[in-house]
């Protein structure tokens, strides 16, 4: 038998937990953190944390990589909290996500200027360019799954865009965690291969969004 509307209202009003002002961003952050924990376990078990991590954490390249990936990740979380609301959101604001890439490009140009042109290819490809984008994409999967959990309380209406920024966020945080393993140090390596992995994740998110985010 169908429930009457009055009965439905009574049932729903039995369970009214307080919702804080920051409930939305907390839920998104929790989804990322839960998925990120899984990604971190995967890195430490399957790939191994780079043995020189402690030393690397005192150097510029490590923090350059982390600043790049975390700033993308924070920007993506902000975009998710906006696209997770039903009210319209202008996608033009998303161009801000290009700023970290532009800054990294600047660092990369400086790097190339200091390097003899014969070494440019080695600088660009590093030792792991064939693997890096795919590992970032793979590590993004558990974080994307965490975000799908977050979305169960969100109300997106532009599924393609919401999926894309979720993939982008998952990719950016996956790359942040991948930094614990990856020994590459050049800006143009990160700009190309990390970004490629993150963009693959964003593309996968855009493809999956309309299927998985409907409510």
Partner 1 sequence: MATTEAELKSLMIGSLDGDATAHSALLRSLVPLLHAFYRRRVPNGEDVEDMVQETLIAVHARRATYDRERPFTAWLYAVARHRMIDHFRRLRQTLPIEDVESILVIEGFEEAANARVDIDRMLDTLSPKQARAIRDTHLSGHSVAEAAAGAGIGESDVKISVHRGLKALAARIKIT
- Contacts to partner 1 by CB under 8 A: 3, 5, 8-10, 12-14, 16-19, 21, 23-24, 27, 84-88, 153-155, 157, 214-215
With respect to partner 1, which residue has the nearer C-beta, 86 or 110? 86
CB 154 within 8 A of CB 84: yes
Q: Minimum CB separation from partner 1 for residue 147, in Å?
A: 15
Q: Report how far residue 190's alpha carbon sits from residue 185's, in angstroms, rounded to the nearest whole number.
A: 8
Q: How far apart are CA 27 and CA 66, in angstroms?
A: 23
Tokens of 129: 């360019």
Structure tokens at 76: 């993506």
Nearest to 32, CA basis, from 158, 130, 133, 174: 174
Is the Cβ of residue 23 or residue 49 nearer to partner 1 in the bound state? Answer: 23
- Measured from the CB of residue 171, what is the shortest distance to partner 1 in angstroms? 24
Q: What does 158-176 look like in DSSP terms, one character per residue? A: -HHHHHHHHHHHHHHHHHH
- Residue 76 CB, nearest distance to partner 1 (Å)? 17
CB of 159 closer than 8 Å to CB of 210:
yes
Tokens 């191994």, residue located: 48
Contacts of 92 (CB under 8 A, 6+ apart): none
Nearest approach in angstroms of CB 162 to partner 1 is 12
Least distance to partner 1, CB of residue 14, Å: 7
Closest to partner 1 by CB, 27 vs 65, is: 27
Residue among 5 and 117 whose Cβ is closer to partner 1: 5
Size (the chain), residues: 215
The least distance separating partner 1 from the CB of residue 180, rounded to whole angstroms, comes to 32
Based on CB atoms, which residue is closest to partner 1, 129 or 149?
Answer: 149
Identity of the residue, 50 or 153, whose beta carbon is nearer to partner 1 in the bound complex: 153
């Amino acid at each position: 038998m169908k429930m009457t509307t009055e009965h439905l209202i009574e049932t729903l009003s039995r369970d009214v937990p307080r919702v804080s002002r920051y409930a939305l961003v907390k839920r998104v952050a929790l989804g990322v953190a839960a998925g990120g924990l899984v990604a971190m376990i995967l890195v430490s078990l399957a790939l191994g944390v780079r043995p020189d991590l402690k030393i690397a954490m005192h150097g510029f390249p490590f923090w350059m990589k982390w600043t790049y990936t975390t700033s993308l990740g924070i920007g993506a979380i902000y975009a998710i909290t906006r696209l997770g609301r039903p009210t319209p959101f202008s996608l033009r604001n998303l161009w801000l996500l290009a700023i970290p890439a532009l800054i990294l490009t600047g660092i990369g140009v400086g790097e190339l200027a200091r390097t003899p042109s014969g070494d440019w290819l080695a600088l660009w490809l590093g030792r792991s360019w064939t693997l890096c984008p795919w590992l970032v994409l793979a590590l993004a999967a558990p974080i994307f799954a965490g975000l799908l959990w977050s979305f169960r309380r969100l109300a997106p209406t532009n599924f393609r865009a919401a999926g894309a920024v979720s993939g982008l966020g998952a990719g950016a945080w996956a790359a942040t965690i991948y930094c614990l393993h990856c020994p590459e140090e050049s800006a143009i390596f990160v700009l190309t291969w990390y970004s490629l992995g993150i963009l693959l994740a964003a593309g996968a998110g855009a493809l999956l969004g309309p299927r998985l985010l409907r409510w």
